[in-house]
Structure 1
Amino acid sequence: MKAEETRADAAPGTPGAAPEGAEIGLGLQSDKRPGDYARLARAAERHGFDVLSVFGDLMYQPPLYPLLEMAAATERVRLGAACLNPYSMAPYEIAGQIAALDLASEGRAYLGLARGTWLGAVGIAQPRPLTVLAETAEVVYRLLGGDDGGYEGEAHRLEAGTRLRYAVHRPRPPLLLGTWGPKGAALAGRIADEVKVGGSANPAMVPVIRDRIRVGAEAAGRDPGEVGVVLGAVTVVDTDGAAARTRARTEVAMYLAVVAELDPTAEIPADLLTRVRDLVAAGEDRAAGELIPDDVLDLFAFSGTPEQVAAQAQELIDAGARRVEFGTPHGLDDDRGVHLLGTAVLPLLTRSPPTSAP
């Protein structure tokens, strides 16, 4: 995907256009019942959220179903899966899903792709992730754009004459890549509109990812500032801040050992990660969470009172994040969490970062 094409197809307020201020999003797990997604989406839009994402985690509902329900219930918010996995889904299927969402939402969809993890549990290997991600995006956009000239890559191919047999709303919905690593962020600098660092609430990661984006962007002749940095993590907000942080500890314990090793700015004792990992493997998530100290918790979750959560989000905005995404479970229950985020957290945020931000 060429940088100039990405810019040309971006509408105002989308990641490809110059942002007026940081966006605030909600990330939802796809574990709910019919009607729940529409109710939460209407509340989020009413409260002023900008983006609704649905996780594409292994063994949960496919994200397209919640996203279509939310698209029908909203008029303004952007929508996307964060993220679809190119190892478990063929590019033509990904093209079909993003086309369906973009059509249903009248041009509010974004395309999220990530290498993913834990696929060994279902016997799927993940070789050459950079190649697979890059070629998947290439094939998806060729299909959406009506290019039937054929494509021959290392991982994917399109025979000449192959094209979608249905109408699409846009040829190039914005692309988000989910990644922590330097090579993935450099790839995003070449081809993407956003990079999402999932499982992080650490403002020190923003300049790290910016530097990694810059490598790929400059090699591709792009302005690194065109690529937005998104940080999102488990969020638990409540007027009972202690209860919220206790719940967040349990949620974070399930992924701490994975993401902590990806954060070069975090100094976490190896023995702590080992103990947390062992307890989680034994099904003792709450006991594992109790081991996580406050300073570590704040690197990998938004939690506490509305004032505490707002302060964490503001640090990310001030560091230069283009979007902050509050992830599930949002609160001690979803509805109360979304309500507090919308009515007590969002009003405390200043969306524009300081002029000195990267």
Structure 2
Amino acid sequence: MTTVEIGLGLQSDKRAGDYARLARRAEEHGFDVLSVFGDLMYQPPIFPLLEMAAATERVRLGAACLNPYSAAPYEVAGQLAALDLASHGRAYLGLARGTWLGAVGIAQPRPLTALAEAVEVVYRLLAGDAGGYEGEMFRLAPGTRLRYPVHRARPPLLLGAWGPKGAALAGRIADEIKVGGSANPAMVGVIRERVAAGAAAAGRDPGEVGVVLGAVTVVDVDGAAARARARSEVAMYLAVVADLDPTVEIPADLLGRVKELVDDGRDEAAGRLIPDDLLDLFAFSGDPEQVAAQAQALIDAGAHRVEFGTPHGLTDDRGVELLGTEVLPLLNRAPRRAAVSMGDAPSS
């Protein structure tokens, strides 16, 4: 039985060289996974991921997440193959339906079909299957194949999802499911139940699917300053994720006021409206002991991986340093269930 993984999630808004520096420090401190967000209008994740692959030797790497609407499945396969080659087999495939794509005129019809078929196309291409594929949304003509070598036919799959249908899909086909934007231990059990429905339909053990929770993280020895920064960060997406958590009831007038202030560019004012108990459900924040206690609650609830998201601290470097030296040593990472095997042999 392996230990629970601890990951670091990075926003792709940094200068060349910053990613390598942060990745090296994270690996030295004992992090297991480094993810790069695929958020709209930020740098494409493949750039920081390739830089981090060259700077590390052990950590798993992946985008969390790409989507099949703005990146065609053959392009996703190419980026995944490149990262897996560059990292010598440490890449994972992260996919989700995506958010805010309407801002760039991209529709998102039939997301479950799009995700399932995209996964099928990606793995067929990586496996060298030239037999063709006719899906409802994506296709491969017979004879279509990648024209370059790949390291593995099936790097592990992470699906980003909150809802019952997305979690059931993960139960059928994924190695991990990520609930992005949540630090709520109650969501672990909710997601486990939703994954189990899909796993049963596919004849799988639901314990084969690791549950990952990740959220905004701000840690500092000045816990009050860290929580103030976290409030501003959380305010920007609270209206998006709050309605997805069935265990939380938030007054509609509070959400409305937060959204109104964020839309007006007043993130700090919006953050000040968020009470402590609500903040703790959607962010890791405070001094190292507070952040460790929040992460431990997720581990105790059965999470397979806890991911500390951007901005990590009052500065990136200080946040990564405190997470590695002050938070990780406080965690008891013994899992409550058998962990998922995330390895795969190289393809021939």
The answer as to whether partners of 2:221 and 2:288 remain within 8 angstroms in 1 is yes
Match of 2:81 among 96, 99, 117: 99
CA shift for structure 1 position 85: 1.1
Alpha-carbon distance in 2 for matches of 1:306, 1:353: 21
Give, as a single letter, the amino acid of the residue that structure 1 aligns with 2:78.
G
Alpha-carbon distance in 1 for matches of 2:111, 2:303: 25
Match of 1:32 among 4, 14, 21: 14
What is the match of residue 314 of structure 2? 332
Alpha-carbon distance in 2 for matches of 1:129, 1:90: 14
Give, as a single letter, the amino acid of the residue that structure 1 aligns with 2:299.
I
What is the match of residue 45 of structure 1? 27
Give, as a single letter, the amino acid of the residue that structure 2 aligns with 1:91.
P
Alpha-carbon distance in 1 for matches of 2:266, 2:222: 24
Aligned positions of 1:217-232 closer than 5 A: 217-232=199-214
Alpha-carbon distance in 2 for matches of 1:257, 1:279: 12
- Please give the secondary structure, in 1, of the residue aligned with 2:237: helix
Aligned positions of 1:109-188 closer than 5 A: 109-188=91-170
Instruction: Flag as ranges the 4+ runs of structure 1 deviating above 4 A.
Output: 354-357
- What is the aligned-residue identity percentage? 83
Match of 1:266 among 243, 248, 252: 248
The answer as to whether partners of 2:66 and 2:94 remain within 8 angstroms in 1 is yes
Match of 1:310 among 269, 277, 292: 292
Structure 2 unaligned blocks of 5 or more: 340-348
- Please give the secondary structure, in 1, of the residue aligned with 2:236: helix
What is the match of residue 82 of structure 1? 64
The answer as to whether partners of 1:319 and 1:353 remain within 8 angstroms in 2 is no
Alpha-carbon distance in 2 for matches of 1:259, 1:354: 27
CA shift for structure 1 position 267: 1.5
CA shift for structure 1 position 353: 3.4
1:252 pairs with 2:234: yes
The answer as to whether partners of 1:25 and 1:325 remain within 8 angstroms in 2 is yes
Give, as a single letter, the amino acid of the residue that structure 1 aligns with 2:54.
A
CA shift for structure 1 position 84: 0.4
Match of 1:291 among 273, 276, 292: 273
Give TM-score, length-normalised by structure 2.
0.96
The answer as to whether partners of 1:276 and 1:291 remain within 8 angstroms in 2 is yes
Structure 1 unaligned blocks of 5 or more: 1-18
1:63 pairs with 2:45: yes
CA shift for structure 1 position 164: 0.2
CA shift for structure 1 position 268: 1.1
Please report the RMSD computed on the Cα atoms of aligned residues, expressed in angstroms. 1.1
Give TM-score, length-normalised by structure 1.
0.94
What is the match of residue 194 of structure 1? 176
* 1:112-155: CA deviation from partner (whole Å, max 9, x where unpaired): 00001100000000000000000000000000000000000000
Alpha-carbon distance in 1 for matches of 2:268, 2:243: 21
Match of 1:72 among 54, 60, 78: 54
Give, as a single letter, the amino acid of the residue that structure 2 aligns with 1:217.
A
CA shift for structure 1 position 354: 4.5
Q: In structure 2, do the counterparts of structure 1 residues 356 and 218 end up closer, same or farther at CA, with 3 Å as the change threshold?
A: closer
CA shift for structure 1 position 21: 1.6
Alpha-carbon distance in 2 for matches of 1:355, 1:140: 30
The answer as to whether partners of 2:222 and 2:286 remain within 8 angstroms in 1 is yes
Match of 1:320 among 297, 302, 314: 302
